[in-house]
Amino acid sequence: MFSGIIKEKGTVKFINNGVLSIVAEIAGKNAYIGQSIAVNGLCLTVKKINYPVLFFDFTPETYRSSALKYLRISEKVNIESALSVGSDISGHFVLGHVDGIGRIVVKKRVGNSIVVGIKIVDSIDGDIDKYIIKKGSISVDGISLTVNELKGDIFFVSVIPLTYDETNLKFKAIYDYVNLESDIIEKTVAIRMNDKAGLYSNKGEKIKGSLTYEFLVENGFK
């Protein structure tokens, strides 16, 4: 699990045949084999270390369903090591399980921030847009951001100067692709509110249908 607070901008060294290598000066110092590290929001596992280069395997499914397929050699990527017990969570809970791909269609400076408009171009389950809400959290290439506005299949985020300078957004151009992960809390609540598989009461009885106010009251939530 991650928080969406980027610790470093790494550099793509190699990507081919299911292997990705990244130059990561900071993360590489304390990296270990089997460690989970988010690369542009994708939870990947360290398979080899040749400091400062880290090597990762990725599956065909990960490649197909993420913006990994658009990475270029020498491109800057966002790096965040997995959270440990007691870690400060300054962003929001990010799993590193990308559920959509977006494409930057707007990038402009407004006041002291940079407004970025992202169009949803692919969704693993075809429903990521249901879990993107105004003032809700979203992970964009692993960065924890807040949705400011929604217009159809395009959402907008305002990026403060520090975040802009410390992440790969500084190098992203119009029409570049990014990984998207909706907020797991928002997603879970939305799904459970309409759980077709049924719910269980505190007596262990299965209740078919969606989550309702009456169900919550009957089971001690008032």
Reported as a single tens digit per residue, the pLDDT across 169-201 is: 999 999 999 999 997 777 777 666 665 545 555
**Which amino acid makes up residue 38?**
A
- The CATH number that domain 100-183 falls under is 2.40.30.20
Domain boundaries, the chain: 8-81, 100-183, 184-222
203: pLDDT strictly greater than 70: no
Do 100-183 and 8-81 have the same topology in CATH? yes
pLDDT number for residue 210: 56
Separation between Cα atoms, residue 45 and residue 150, nearest integer Å: 34
pLDDT in tens, 100-139: 999 999 999 999 999 999 999 988 776 788 888 899 999 9
**In the beta sheet, which residues pair with residue 200?**
206
CATH class of the domain comprising 8-81:
mainly beta
Q: Are 38 and 94 in contact (CB under 8 A)?
A: yes
Q: Which residues contact 76 (CB under 8 A, 6 or more apart)?
A: 9, 10, 11, 12, 168, 170, 171
